[in-house]
Structure 1
Amino acid sequence: MSTKLNRIDLNLLVYLDALLRERNVTQAAHQLNLSQPAMSNGLRRLRDLFDDPLLVRTSDGMTPTERALELEPQVREVLMNIEQAVQPRSAFAPEQAQRVFRIMASDYAESTLLPAVLGKLRVQAPGLTLDIMTPSDVSFLDVERGKVDMVINRFDSMPQSFHQIHLWNDSFSCLLSPENPVLADFTLENYLQAKHIWVSKTGMGVGVGVDPDDVQRLGWVDSALARLGKKR
């Protein structure tokens, strides 16, 4: 063990985690059942340890520095590993559990998966409650900060520190009127030339808050077409 590590009070990492979650010294102290002077002293020691202000006061409150944002996921992972190491190896008893699981799920994942899950929870874990949030309300940072327990969605990429599991495969379908002339010769080119309906949960679409050249924001279909050099 390095001599520098021997000099570190690991409680300071707990303080830093709370400070970065709350962005407020008083609220961080309340979360850890500490006095405000004790938390302020902890912040001073953290600043000395990392040679960085970490949190600076602005008109919007306490704002983390670039160094603090770099440390945030690392500190959280260290604390999670320590917590797992010291926890007794007792089996999870769903029938006795009393807690709220915060889950981010798309409307598709919610309608596809959750009805069956809720049916099982009522029988096997009646004390559990699910708090479902939409993707527009949640970011990866919320997951790293522990504000969200689980994410059910399709992602092109995600942070390497996240644990992930593949749930199922699915495909897209194209809905159109039986009287649509495209049906007579349903080719890719004819599909691209047809008129399309834009579905938006946010109320924004092409020409209304969304740049038609911003393929990533247009959606998965347009991203796939772009990889083929196509555009609808």
Structure 2
Amino acid sequence: MNLASVDLNLLVAFEALMEERNVTRAGRRVGLAQPSMSSVLTRLRALFGDDLFVRSASGMQPTAKALSLARPIGDALGQIRGVLEPGSGFDPATARRRLSIAVTDYGDLIIVPPLVTALRREAPGIDLVVRPVIDTALSVAGLEHGDIDALIGGHLPASARITRRTLFEEHFVCIRDGKRARQRARLTRDDYTRLPHVLFSSAGGDGIPGAIDTMLARHGRKRRTAITLPHVVAVPFAVAGTDLVATMAERIASRFVAAAGVSVVSLPYDVEAFTIDLLHTRRAMADPALRWLIELVVRVCRSL
């Protein structure tokens, strides 16, 4: 293919279609009316010899070919924007900007405090809005549509339109009342399934069976969830002074040992570690302020 014959605007339109999954909204993003955007889609199909996007009840769904093109085209456009963007003019020490991130309860407790400290030290003119993650799928959709600038948490769903960066690994541990732990420091497998559990579920209700329940099922075991709480900070305080136990992320559990009077004990089962990830759109890397925030998050998390 002769590169000189390719209209770069077609690739910009492809990126908009991939992210919006709607011809009208994609056209609005690139400054084209719906008929003109439909014409651009026809040219894209001719360029790549594929339908690329197929109409469905839930919008324009990308074909396998479109999905394979999404990342290389996004990366290429990101590099071009980076070259053209006057990024050298961005100075975090003097910049004034309002940025937004969505975080799970984990991010609120572990990542946001040191991030705020670094932000106040390095960029006091940048305001940060932190929004809660109630439904991870809705938060990813909000990120795709530009409602938030970044999303941080564990067990976040994948999306072909989103870039994922692993910040660090986290491990599960068990907590129980401090006095009971001193009397019996180690939990056996029988102890673990015999004792009543506290479950954290941000969505409320009974929660969705997760890694722990799946692991127990493989061993032919099941735990009893006696208490379900909507906020992770409440879990250690519910455990303290009772026979309850809870399974939670190690970094969170460690924060509440002294405050809640609980002890951290090892799980009697091997459970795979999970990752805490940062999600952002590819177009974020073309924005100097967002690019700086993303790198700040990565830098802060190296010390956690």
Flag whether TM exceeds 0.5 (same fold).
yes
The AA in structure 1 aligned to 2:57 is S
What are the superposed Cα offsets for residues 52-107 of structure 1, whole Å, 9 maximum, x if unpaired? Answer: 11222222332222322232233222211211122235152233232423x23221
User: Secondary structure of 2:50's partner?
Assistant: coil
Structure 1 residue 25 corresponds to structure 2 residue 54: no
> Is this contact kept in 1: 2:52–2:63, CA < 8 A?
yes
* Partners of 1:146 and 1:85 in 2: CA distance: 24
* Partners of 1:224 and 1:10 in 2: CA distance: 57
The corresponding residue for 1:111 is: 109
The corresponding residue for 2:244 is: none
The AA in structure 1 aligned to 2:185 is F
Structure 1 residue 200 corresponds to structure 2 residue 201: yes
Trace 1:77-116 onto structure 2 (pairs within 5 A): 77-94=75-92, 95-101=94-100, 103-115=101-113
* Partners of 1:195 and 1:5 in 2: CA distance: 65
User: Secondary structure of 1:42's partner?
Assistant: helix
The corresponding residue for 1:7 is: 5
The corresponding residue for 1:186 is: 185
> Is this contact kept in 2: 1:56–1:65, CA < 8 A?
yes
The AA in structure 2 aligned to 1:79 is L
The normalised TM-score by structure 2 is: 0.56
> Is this contact kept in 1: 2:104–2:133, CA < 8 A?
yes
User: Secondary structure of 1:78's partner?
Assistant: helix
* Partners of 2:14 and 2:200 in 1: CA distance: 42
Contiguous gaps of at least 5 residues in structure 2: 217-246, 251-265, 273-304
Would the alpha carbon gap of residues 183 and 125 (structure 1) be closer, same or farther in structure 2, given more than 3 Å must change?
closer
The AA in structure 1 aligned to 2:203 is T
Q: Indicate the RMSD between aligned Cα atoms, in angstroms.
A: 4.1
The normalised TM-score by structure 1 is: 0.70
Over the matched positions of the two proteins, sequence identity in percent amounts to 26
> Is this contact kept in 1: 2:102–2:132, CA < 8 A?
yes
What are the superposed Cα offsets for residues 162-220 of structure 1, whole Å, 9 maximum, x if unpaired? Answer: 44555x98984613273x4x653332316424332222222354xx653775249x976
Residue 34 of structure 1 and its aligned partner are, at CA, apart by 1.7
Contiguous gaps of at least 5 residues in structure 1: none
The corresponding residue for 1:152 is: 152
Would the alpha carbon gap of residues 186 and 165 (structure 1) be closer, same or farther in structure 2, given more than 3 Å must change?
closer
Trace 1:119-130 onto structure 2 (pairs within 5 A): 121=119, 124-130=123-129
Residue 13 of structure 1 and its aligned partner are, at CA, apart by 0.9
The corresponding residue for 1:75 is: 73
1:53 to 48, 51, 54: 51
* Partners of 1:4 and 1:224 in 2: CA distance: 62
The corresponding residue for 2:279 is: none
* Partners of 2:201 and 2:185 in 1: CA distance: 25
Would the alpha carbon gap of residues 104 and 73 (structure 1) be closer, same or farther in structure 2, given more than 3 Å must change?
farther
Structure with greater proportional strand content: 2
* Partners of 1:27 and 1:57 in 2: CA distance: 14
The corresponding residue for 1:64 is: 62
Give the number of aligned pairs: 217
The AA in structure 2 aligned to 1:176 is D
User: Secondary structure of 2:198's partner?
Assistant: coil
The corresponding residue for 1:214 is: 214
> Is this contact kept in 1: 2:170–2:249, CA < 8 A?
no
2:269 to 213, 218, 225: 225
Residue 32 of structure 1 and its aligned partner are, at CA, apart by 1.4
> Is this contact kept in 1: 2:103–2:130, CA < 8 A?
no
Would the alpha carbon gap of residues 116 and 67 (structure 1) be closer, same or farther in structure 2, given more than 3 Å must change?
same
